[in-house]
Amino acid sequence: MKMTVDIDEYAEGAVLLDGLEGAIIGIVEDFGSPGRKMLYSKQGILNILQERDLMTMGEAEEFYDYNILGLHASEQNAVFLDLEITPIKKEDGWEYQLKE
C-alpha cells in the first residue's frame, strides 16, 4: 500500500532545494541532529540540471559541487546519495555491488 507523505509535517524545517523536488528520494534522521533531512539523488540532480538548464555533464557536476553540495543553509541541510550499493553476504565477509 502506497502512502502519501506530507514533507512539511514529517520533516518540518528540512531544507528543500527549489526546482530539484524530482530528485528527492527519501527523508533521513540521525542522532544528535535536530529534525529530519531530505535525501536527494545526486544523479537525479545532475539529470535535472542537464535537462532543465541544458548543461553538459561537466557543467552539471561543477554546479552541483559548488552550489548544491557546498550549500549550508541550516542544521537540517539536505543530504545526497552519491552511490547506491547492494550488500552481498559471502562466506568470508561482505561484498558490495553498485546498483544499476
CA distance to 29, 54, 63, 64, per residue, from 44 (Å) = 21, 14, 14, 11
When the pLDDT of each residue in the chain is averaged and rounded to a whole number, the result is: 94
Residue-wise pLDDT tens digits, 25-54: 999 999 988 899 999 999 999 999 999 999
pTM confidence score = 0.89
Question: Residue holding cell 518540518?
Answer: 12
Q: Are 76 and 36 contacting, i.e. CB atoms less than 8 angstroms apart? A: yes
Q: How many Cβ atoms from other residues are within 10 Å of residue 48's Cβ?
A: 20
| Cα–Cα dist 47/45, whole Å | 5
Residue range 59-81: mean pLDDT, rounded:
95
